Amino acid sequence: MKRSAESAAEEKRTTRPRSPSPTFVLVLLLFAVVGTAACRRRARELAPAAPPAAAQARSGQPAPAPEPLPFGSAVVPSPAAFADGGAPTGYEHATVWDFVPTGDGAAVLLLDASRTTVLPIYVGGTEALTIRLNLDGKHYERPLTHDLLALMVKELGGRPIKAQIDDVRDDTYYGSVFVRQGDRVVQLDARPSDAIAIALGSGAPLYVSRSVLLASGVPLEDLEREQKGHGVENRKTPISL
């Protein structure tokens, strides 16, 4: 009887559930909040369409960002194409508010210029490694893929001048990287994960389309409130790009 009691007590101790880690809780919060935003966006998409001019006048929302240029297009922006202290028209300067590992990748949380909206960008393992190293100011002894790309651009006489997140369609983000080579600026189609990695590695600014922030952004106060409710510490100082 004594051995049976001890065995029962040991089994009770070993089967007691453990409290989830703060990182795991934050990842669950991100999926919940982003899922809610996606449902709201889907509801807006299914609503009856109104004439573009009338809808914009009622909502007071900014006009959608212009369509990205074809892959490899060469453009020379004029001063009139920029606003908001250097941000292109229809875009906002973004900073990295937090970086949350998710097991097979990470969620990069971008914060808009007004510090009111967070845009979660989920990246794969390779991009997550590069972004994490850049955030920590570290480098591998041998060049990683994005390091090699940066060296190639430099050796060919170019340098990244900005990266953008331009659009979101069917839950897929679209981005671009601008490279200056001599007197021309080349706009290259890019995944947002690569655009963020290149911006961090080169020191180029990162801009996000306001239409993307409106469609997929999460209010910062909502995310912070959920974090406090689950005892997750949040980042106070964004990482500038």
Residue 7: domain span? 2-229
Q: What is the DSSP letter of 63?
A: P
Residue 73 included in any domain: yes
pLDDT value of residue 17: 44
Closest by CA to 216, choosing from 175, 164, 166, 171, is: 171
Give the distance from CA 238 to its chain's centroid: 13
CATH number at residue 223: 3.10.690.10
What does the pLDDT read at residue 23?
Answer: 52
Is residue 151 situated within a structural domain?
Answer: yes
Whether 236 is covered by a domain: the verdict is no
Rg (C-alpha) for the chain, rounded Å, is: 22
Helices 125-136 and 145-155 pack at an angle, to 10 degrees, of: 70
State both tokens at 212: 């993307």
Partners of 120 in the beta sheet? 109
Residue 34: inside a domain:
yes
**What was the pLDDT predicted at 224?**
83
141 assigned to some structural domain? yes
Phi-psi category of 22—alpha, beta or left, where left has phi over 0 and alpha has psi -120 to 50? alpha
Contact 179, 185 (CB under 8 A): yes
Q: Is residue 237 part of a domain?
A: no
Number of domains the chain contains? 1
User: Does the residue 235 lie in any domain?
Assistant: no
Helices 145-155 and 192-202: angle between axes, nearest 10 degrees: 60
Query: What is the per-residue pLDDT for 133?
Result: 86
Residue type, 151: L
Torsion of Cα atoms, 161 then 61 then 113 then 83, to 10°: 40
Residue 109 belongs to some domain of the structure: yes
pTM: predicted TM-score of the whole model, two decimal places: 0.64
Per the CB < 8 A criterion, the answer to whether 120 and 109 are in contact is: yes
Question: Which residues of the chain have a pLDDT value below 50?
Answer: 14-20, 24-25, 28, 39, 42-58, 69, 71-84, 235-241
